[in-house]
Chains A and B, each alone.
Chain A
């Protein structure tokens, strides 16, 4: 999992939700495969022009949810609309106005970059498909690679091409399934710049990811684990709703290996305390979190007088919150 500080997020501009229009509105979506519930009673609402982050660990049901939104999977139960069209009955209309970027590259590897774009342009009935494909090539910075087979592109270029193919027909909603998985930081940053630009132009974007720093680039986020939607709202809201208290401990006067050992020792003893739900090392400091603020303070009280440590009460990070949500829902499942 990547840490937010490696790639500082530009402050997310306020969502242009002045229109007040809803792009995605689904209620109680459920889906099981072979008797195993993969998405459970999921409801969410995404406003037009928003960048909506869809977070959750692998296998939590993100892809399944996205596929239900664009009519590729039929929900076992639940209703909803996408761009005002019914997801159960109007899949064809939805497909025309939704750009879906699949998790796995799914354009034609044996077609060149240009041929892939022309195919998409023709299929959506874009006027002058050759010119449209050429324009998209130039925009993507793929002009010199138009003749290259898509299968020969590197991961980052494939991702660009796939996004370009989604945008080319001029959709109103983008569903991007882990678009930045396996892409280098520079390409990721460019990608997010592009997403913000698109949203500023009125496009709604739902993007799934498991990078924490990317969550902070979204206007709103939803967190899903084991098929359950556990939290949604802005990053601040999600953190506030979590009810988690977090303390950060730093060592004083110790360096390198000694500091590491001190932190590890503290981590070991704290984990066993009632009131401490989560201990996570960050270099030579520790994040200690608990759902019950008083119990947590009581638990750490004996160690706060130890002169080797400096204690600070801080807001939990999104990662703290998500890991806590996940372990809580896992406990509930049992």
Chain B
């Protein structure tokens, strides 16, 4: 026991100690020390870790149910401009199918508008004047369908089903030779959700919102937790810079974020057939950037908050507008100016554009660079505030 401290450099030897831990190597050593520590703590906190993996899976499963549930009994109103065999056949078909629940026939567009606005009906089918005549002539007349698309999945499926229902009715009554041969056109008019957000759009959106929520919470708790557990006092007494603490606390969670993103994208592609039109590499790069931005913002909250509860509240205050103003819930272009200005300041807005671009439209880097730059800017702002606000003393 008494042999220790005899290693040279201990005690009086200032010189041997001064070189150690200095420079770039020291910087990486300290960030690494912090990362290893955070990673072990993360893995040891089974409940949190499991929650963070379960949230995306749970969301996807719930979402999967929503998609797979065939909508039934959607309340529907019909406005027919003529009373012919054909219009009656269409009406009968609508009444007979389980998709729609026929509410009533209306006699003016205003009346129909009122019903759909009040939510009494979700669908409104308008059969034009001269419909039967035009079908017989082969003129392909238009049936107007207005749908309350605030429930986009339900309305999208019902709209798709509508054509089939009418076609079958026509074939059955021998107005046309075979089902599927289009004797008419359906003109769709989506109300309240003109973007027609479908599952294709929602999977990328879900990816963005889940990442926002989990990444924020991870780091929002990290500094306040050290303070509340009393470990901050030791940490601050050690030769580590606030930047090193921040990086060491952010980086381990990038791997969790990537794991979550992988789960969501994989499930989206396998279960819902979401395409990946663009480059995988670009998607990964955009997602990495987005994860780091959210971790930085969460960390900033952590340096501002007095305790863990406050940190969680701040994250929530950030999360809500992210959902509402990013274009996830409502189409971005349809929002008022003030909302769009606020939205531009939210990382989710930029990420949604990027990820929808890459996955659905095959966007390439030049298409995304503005949003990527915006994310980098947001990240730098958050990190600067965090480092500036980090309290290096216990004062």
Contact = CB atoms under 8 A, between A and B. Distances in A.
A201 B4 CA distance: 10
Q: Which of A106, A111, A125, A167 has the most CB of B within 10 A?
A: A125
Nearest to B22: A125
B25 to A, nearest CB: 8
Contact of A100 (B11, B25, B234): B234
B393 interface: yes
A122 B36 contact: yes
A265 interface: no
Contact of A201 (B10, B30, B32): B10
Contact of A108 (B21, B231, B238): B231
Contacts of A176: none
Interface in B1-37: 1-2, 4-7, 9-12, 14, 17, 20-21, 25-26, 29-30, 32-34, 36-37
Interface residues of A, number: 43
Contacts of A203: 5, 11
A119 B239 CA distance: 12
A125 B236 contact: no
A170 interface: yes
A67 B11 contact: no
A288 to B, nearest CB: 43
A172 B11 contact: yes
B371 to A, nearest CB: 37
Contact of A107 (B12, B21, B234, B240): B234
B230 A106 contact: yes
A122 B237 contact: no
Given A97-B14, A203-B5, A119 B233 contact: no
Interface stretch (A70-78, A208-216, A244-252, A270-278): A70-78
A95 B237 contact: yes
Contacts of A183: none
Contact of B11 (A92, A108, A123, A202): A202
Nearest to B1: A139
Interface in A97-126: 97-98, 100, 102, 104-111, 115, 118-120, 122-126
A253 interface: no
B137 interface: no
A122 B29 contact: yes
Query: Taking chain B's interface residues, is the majority helix, strand, or loop, or is none over half, making it mixed?
Result: loop
B33 A122 contact: yes
Contacts of A11: none
B393 A197 contact: no
A27 B30 CA distance: 34
A76 to B, nearest CB: 10
Interface stretch (B38-46, B126-134, B346-354): B38-46
Contact of A67 (B7, B44, B394): B394
A127 B44 CA distance: 27
A96 interface: yes
A198 interface: yes
A122 B34 CA distance: 9
A160 to B, nearest CB: 12
Contacts of B2: 197
Contacts of B21: 96, 124-125
A123 B33 contact: yes
A111 B45 CA distance: 11
A106 B231 contact: yes
B41 A108 contact: yes
Contacts of B234: 100, 102, 106-107
A73 B241 CA distance: 16
Nearest to A162: B234
Contacts of A92: 239, 241
Nearest to A204: B11
Given A72-B236, A72-B393, A170-B7, A96 B33 contact: no
Pairs of residues from A and B, 6 with the lowest C-beta to C-beta distance, nearest first: A125-B21, A122-B33, A202-B11, A170-B10, A106-B234, A100-B237
Interface of A: 67, 70-74, 91-92, 95-98, 100, 102, 104-111, 115, 118-120, 122-127, 129, 135, 139, 167, 170, 172, 197-198, 201-203
28 contacts: A70-B237, A72-B236, A72-B237, A95-B238, A96-B21, A96-B239, A100-B234, A109-B229, A111-B37, A115-B37, A115-B40, A119-B33, A119-B36, A122-B32, A122-B33, A123-B33, A125-B21, A125-B26, A125-B29, A125-B30, A139-B4, A170-B5, A170-B9, A170-B10, A172-B11, A172-B14, A201-B11, A203-B5
Given A72-B236, A91-B392, A197-B2, 19 more contacts: A72-B233, A95-B237, A104-B233, A105-B230, A106-B232, A106-B234, A110-B41, A110-B44, A110-B45, A111-B41, A119-B36, A120-B238, A122-B36, A123-B33, A123-B240, A124-B238, A125-B21, A125-B29, A201-B6
